[in-house]
Each structure stands twice: as C-alpha cells, then as structure tokens.
Structure 1
Amino acid sequence: MAAMKPRTGDGPLEVEKSPHGYTLRLPLEGGGRMVLQMSEEELAQLRGVVSEALGE
C-alpha cells in the first residue's frame, strides 16, 4: 500500500526555478493547487498575457 501524504493546505502562489524550467504552484478556489512546469519562454508569454489582461 502506498503511503498517503496529508494535505497541509492550499499554500501561497509560488514560482520556483527547477532544473527542468520553472514550477508554478497556483492555489485554486475550493482547495488544492494546480502545479505547472514551464520553460522560461512560456513563463514570459504568461507574464505578457496577464499584464495585458490587467492593462499594465
């Protein structure tokens, strides 16, 4: 039987650099977090889209 890890909460929005690119942990409404792994180029595109949506 596999060990179950307890969920310790949603946690903050975080981005960290990893050997494979960047890991984005995004808290979701209703609990849990979505974890995305992306390259530097993909992260730059995401930044541009969010900035445009916010009118910056």
Structure 2
Amino acid sequence: MAAMKPRTGDGPLEATAEGRGIVVRIPTEGGGRLVIEMSPQEAGKLAEVLTAAI
C-alpha cells in the first residue's frame, strides 16, 4: 500500500529543465499543483502567447 503523505503546502510556481524537456508546476485553487512537461519549442510558443495576452 502506498504511503500517505500530508500536504505541507502547494509550493511556488516553478519551471525546471529536466532531461530534454521543461517541467512547469503551477499551484491550483483548492490545493495541489498542475504539472506540465513540454519541449523547449513548446515552451517558447507558450511564452509568446502569454506575452501577447498581457
């Protein structure tokens, strides 16, 4: 049976390079984090779209 670990916090928004990809961890409302892995090309496109939105 898997060990149950208490949540000590959702953590900050972060992006790290892991292997050939980029992993983004986004805190969500209600607890937890959304974890997305993408290629550097996808991350560049996401940056362009977010920059245009703001």
Partner of 2:36: 36
> Normalising to structure 2: TM-score of the pair?
0.89
1:1-56, aligned counterparts within 5 Å? 1-54=1-54
Q: Return the alpha-carbon distance in structure 1 between the equivalents of residues 3 and 12 of structure 2.
A: 25
Please tell me the root mean square deviation across aligned C-alpha atoms, in Å. Answer: 1.0
Percent of aligned pairs with the same residue?
54
Gaps of 5+ in 2: none
- TM superposition shift of 1:6: 2.2
Q: How many residues align?
A: 54
Amino acid across the alignment from 1:31: G
